[in-house]
Structure 1
Amino acid sequence: MTPNGRWTEQWRETPNGRWTEQKVSRRNLFTNYLSSKRFHNTKMGNLSKIVDALPDHYGCVIFTGLTGTFINLWMGINVAKARKQYDVPYPTMYSSDNKMFNCIQRTHQNTLENYPMFLMLLFIGGLQYPRTSACAGTLYNLSRIVYAKGYYTGDPEKRGWGSFSLVALIAMLGCTVGVALRQLRIFPH
């Protein structure tokens, strides 16, 4: 290795089956390892096989799930701002005298309560029906934003604006049931 630490010695097998020592940069050492047979026989290397097995357009499903994460972050930031604005200290979950803070908090809490179900339906249904699941998931995400905007008015009745999330959940539920039936060999290909 050189004094600056940029180069290191590495043994490599040549095409004719002999082993030789050569100097390679640390960056090349890492990329050589990632392309080696040793790496692909590890658990981390097998991940690429899983990704390759996913259906076309499953990336849309993943991005839909990520969008839901950003919506949750946005709602969490709104709760943190409302805590400062309405002087509701941690760990108090709801205010006994401030309805507006409670509406903002409840929006986030309700979204968190439904989030595991949403992700499960999205990711499992997307294994067989990625486009349908991604579209239904996007509709669900939009409904959560509309739900929040309605609830943020301070009038809990306006949260009903986002009730079209049920349509999205039913669509994702149908996709997930379809995957289960196909996996049990009840539903034809």
Structure 2
Amino acid sequence: MEDHNTANLTEPSSPAASVASAEIAAEFAALTVEEKEQRRAEWSQELARVEEEINTLRTVLASKTRHASDLKRKLGITVWKELTDDVNQGVKNIKESTVFQRTESVLKSTGEKTASVFGSITSGISSKLSQMKNSDSMRSIEASVGSAYENVKTKVTSRSGSVSSFPDALDENQSSSGLNSPTDSLTK
């Protein structure tokens, strides 16, 4: 029962460690009860000594950290400044990396290509609009709208007799008939 507990004290993390643990367990099982007790006492003493060294190192590290903080405070170096410097250095490292430079050049060329495509689309649309404006059918529509406007203006002017402009005619018609909409006055 004692040998079984000793074998389970450490759990190996790799195949080499499990082989070493198996060898240690086999050696430990071959020892007599007095030798096992003596070995355990040696290990306990060594463990206590190692833990004491760890605590001493922690104390020394804490003391050195406090001393470094005091020196930084005296020099005016703040946590914010250190963080800012670290971030700036990180950004600089990223910008200097080949991956960033390649990505930046690809994005720049893509932006230029996109701008040229949009420019060509815009110029194409404006040229089509100017062609449409100068086409015979557009001129025909403009002439029709213009003649319809003139007809309405003539009818409104002839009704009022003394009106000098189309907006005046609309205002006069609305005030005389009590209607709110110019189309209502035109349909009467």
TM tier relative to shorter chain: under 0.3
Higher relative contact order (CA 8 A, sep 6+): 1
- When you count helix as a share of all residues, which structure comes out higher? 2
User: Taking structure 2 as the reference length, what is the TM-score of the superposition?
Assistant: 0.23
- When you count strand as a share of all residues, which structure comes out higher? 1
Q: Which has the larger radius of gyration?
A: 2
